[in-house]
Structure 1
C-alpha cells in the first residue's frame, strides 16, 4: 500500500513536525508513506471572493501535478463523510480489498480546497465537525491512519 499526503503549505511548528515524524515512523510498517508539501499562495488580508477562488485554483493545480496516476484520491472536506475510527478503518479496508493500492490524501490550505478538485475526488472525508488548522489536520490524519491499520490488523491500540 502506498499512501501520499499532499498538503498545501509548509510546517513550521516543531511540535507538529515531531508528531508527524513519529506517526510516519509508526506507519512505515503498514504502508509506504510519502508526505508532499505544495507551496501555498499568498492571500491578501481583505480577500475578495473572486481572489479566494483564484488562489484555490492555483493551489489545486499544484496539487494535481503531485497526484500519482491511478491514485485513489481522498480529500479532506468539511462536507465529507464523518466516520468514526472503526468505520473509517472498515472503509479503508474495503478500498484495499477492491484493489486500491495507491491513495492520495489531499489537505487544502487555510482557504480550503478548490470546488472542482473536491468534485473529482474518489472519497470525501471530514475528520471532525470541529475546525482545525490545516497543519494540525496532517497530524490528526496520520494518527487516524495508524489507528485504522491497527484496527484492520486486529492489533491493540484502539479502545
Structure 2
C-alpha cells in the first residue's frame, strides 16, 4: 500500500524532524510512504476572515496539484469523524481489502483547510476536538499510521 502525507508548510523544529524520520523509517516495512510538503502562506496576526479565505484558497490550489487520481483522500479536520486506534486500523485494512492501494492524508496549514479540499475527502478524520499545531500533527498522524499497521499485522503495540 502507498501512503501519502500531503501537508502545508515545512517542519522547522529538529525534534519534530527526528520523530518524522523515525516513524518514516519504521513504516518502510509496511508501506511505501511519501511526504509532500506544499508551501504555506503568511497569515497576518489580525487577519480578517476574507484574508484567511484567500490564504486557505492559495494553499488549496497547491494541495490539489498533488492529489493523485484514484487515491483515497483522508483530510484531518477538527469536525471530522473520530476513531480509536483499532478502528482506524480496521478502516485502513478494509480499504486494502476493497482494492484501494493508495491513501492520501491531507494536513492543512495553521488556519486549516479550504472547503475545496474538504469537499474532495473520502473521509474527514479528527484526532480530537482540541487544536494541535499542524506541524506536530504530522508526527501524531505518522505514529497512528504505524500503530495501525502493527495492529493489522497482529504485532504488539503500546496501549
After TM superposition, the score normalised by the length of structure 1 is 0.97
Give 2:25's aligned residue.
25
The answer to whether the Cα contact below 8 Å between 2:78 and 2:130 also exists between their aligned partners in 1 is no
Whether 1:150 and 2:119 are equivalent positions in the alignment is no
Q: What are the ranges of 5 or more consecutive residues in structure 2 without an aligned counterpart? A: none
The answer to whether the Cα contact below 8 Å between 2:79 and 2:129 also exists between their aligned partners in 1 is no
Give 1:122's aligned residue.
122
**4+ aligned runs moved over 6 Å, structure 1:** none
- Rounded Cα–Cα distance in structure 2 between residues aligned with 1:45 and 1:21: 31
Q: Within 5 Å, which residues of 2 pair with 1:55-94? A: 55-94=55-94
Tell me the CA shift for residue 115 of structure 1.
Answer: 1.2
Tell me the CA shift for residue 157 of structure 1.
Answer: 1.1
After TM superposition, the score normalised by the length of structure 2 is 0.97
- Rounded Cα–Cα distance in structure 2 between residues aligned with 1:91 and 1:158: 20
Tell me the CA shift for residue 70 of structure 1.
Answer: 1.2
Secondary structure, counterpart of 1:66 in structure 2:
coil
Give 1:102's aligned residue.
102
The answer to whether the Cα contact below 8 Å between 1:85 and 1:144 also exists between their aligned partners in 2 is yes
Q: What are the ranges of 5 or more consecutive residues in structure 1 without an aligned counterpart? A: none
The answer to whether the Cα contact below 8 Å between 2:89 and 2:148 also exists between their aligned partners in 1 is yes
